[in-house]
Structures are given as C-alpha cells and as structure tokens.
Homo-oligomer: A and B are copies of this chain.
Amino acid sequence: MLELRLVQGSLLKKVLEAIRELVNDANFDCSSTGFSLQAMDSSHVALVALLLRSEGFEHYRCDRNISMGMNLNNMAKMLRCAGNDDIITVKGDDGSDTVTFMFESPTQDKISDFEMKLMDIDSEHLGIPEAEYHAIVRMPSAEFARICKDLSSIGDTVVISVTKEGVKFSTKGDIGTANIVCRQNSSVDKPEESTTVEMHEPVSLTFALRYMNSFTKATPLSSQVTISLSNELPVVVEYKIAEMGYVRFYLAPKIEEEEEETKPEV
C-alpha cells in the first residue's frame, strides 16, 4: 500500500515536464525514505536522477519498497489535468498493475481520480558515487536556459570554461562564433540572482547543446541551477526542488576532435 500526498501538487507536474523530453519510460522507486527515479535518456547518453524525500510530503505511506514502471508521456497527460493549486495524491495497491493520481482542488469542490496502467520496465540502477568536482558553478537557472538556447542558434556544442572570474560559454558554427561570460556576482539582497564559482582547478569541457537544452526544461523547478564540472567525470546539472530533493542530469563531455586539439579553443 502506497499513499503519497503532496500539497504543492504543481511540483510533481513540473518534475514530469522536466524529464519527459529525455525519458519515455521509467521506474519510479518508492521506499520509506522517498520517491525516486533513475533513468537513461532514450539514446543512452544522459542520465536523469530524481529524488523527492518522504519528509516533503504532507502524508507519506509506503509499506514496502515498490518499483512502478510508467510511461512518462502518459503520466504527464494525466498530471496536466491537475490544477496548479491542486493537492496531488499518488496511490498504489500491492500487486496492482495500476497507479492512481488523485487531484483535489483547494476548495475540495472538485476531486479527480486518474488511474494509469503500469508497465514492466527493465532497468538497472547505477550507483553514482559521490565525487569531488574541479569546479562548481551556481547561477540563475533562467540565465543558464537562455544561454543554452541562444548558443543553439549558432552552434551544436558548448564549451563551458571556468576560471576564478566566472564561467564562459562558447560555441561556433557556420555563421560565426559566440562567447558569453558570466561574472561572479553574489548580490546578497537577491540570492536567487547570484552567480558563484567554486573552483579548485580551471576546467574547460565540451557538451552537446541538444542535451543541455533538454535539461533546462527543469528551469521552473528552481531559481538556481548548479553545474558541477570535472575533467574525468560527467557534468552534473542539478535543480533543487524546494526542500524535498532534486532533479539531476548527468552528461559525459564530448571528446574534442583531433583538429580541435591542435588549435585548442577558449
């Protein structure tokens, strides 16, 4: 028996919109500590990890660990039927092949039950070790989204370079080149607009903009995004969810092509 009641139901709607572009089908894992998901994108290049801790729910009951395979587009179709102020409850019975999403309007005048069929999905849970990163950038999520979108109109890849002064995003394409530098800036009065760089070693890595743009679908979840970079590790793009958890995206850097190595960029 599973029953998770989330007062701020819009969070679950935003989580779905954040990940469904990357992942079609995935297992949601429910345990006494929280509601989580880990899945590769359909081309097996990027990894998505979601955690919603049990403490963040108004009511959280999960009698035994359960893994529920869902089609994320179908789930999103149902969650889109929830009002933005609705309370959402996720319900499952042991051994059932369905999950129920219940939406309650704030006035309790409208109650909706959406029952969705579950799927069997093979998945292996990857252990993601905690790691030390060479550089950690925290910046406004909307700014990061804007930069990824802007650079996509010029090129296909972005080079992210971190120095003490700030972070530089660069691309090049047929029509020219672009460099966008965001300087460190910890305005105390509006922390959600600050850009901070925590750097142990300078780092400069290349990523496919297509994936970065998919990650920025999570922008409505958080006013800040954290980008953790290291030469030997996939980048981690993290959006914190209120005080409940996070959505994290992992993406391996592109190996620079030979021609690029002889004329190093940035």
**A contacts, CB < 8 Å to B:** 71, 74, 77-78, 80-81, 98, 107-117, 143, 150-151, 153-154, 175-183, 185, 195
- Tell whether, in the assembled complex, residue B78 and residue A114 are in contact, meaning their CB atoms are under 8 Å apart: no
B181 touches A111 (CB 8 A): yes
A sample of 27 cross-chain residue pairs with beta-carbon separation below 8 angstroms, ordered by A number, consists of A77-B153, A77-B154, A77-B175, A78-B153, A78-B154, A78-B175, A78-B176, A78-B178, A81-B150, A81-B151, A81-B154, A81-B180, A108-B183, A109-B182, A109-B185, A109-B195, A110-B180, A110-B183, A111-B181, A111-B183, A112-B180, A112-B181, A114-B176, A114-B177, A114-B178, A115-B177, A117-B175
Find chain B residues with CB under 8 A from A77 CB: 153-154, 175
B residues near A153, Cβ cutoff 8 Å? 77-78, 80-81
Contact: A110 with B143, CB < 8 Å? yes
* Chain B residues positioned under 8 Å from A176 (CB to CB): 74, 78, 98, 114-117
Contact of A154 among B114, B151, B181 (CB under 8 A): B114
Given A74-B175, A181-B112, A150 contacting B107 (CB threshold 8 A): no
B110/A182 in contact, CB under 8 A: yes
The secondary structure that dominates the A interface is strand
- In the complex, how many angstroms separate the beta carbon of A145 from the nearest chain B beta carbon? 13
Contact A185 B116 (CB under 8 A): no
Query: Could you tell me the distance between the alpha carbons of A107 and B143 in the complex, rounded to whole angstroms?
Result: 14
Smallest Cβ distance from A38 to chain B, in angstroms?
23
Determine the chain B residues whose CB is within 8 A of the CB of A151 once the complex forms: 81
Interface hub of A71, A80, A107, A153 (most chain B Cβ within 10 A): A153
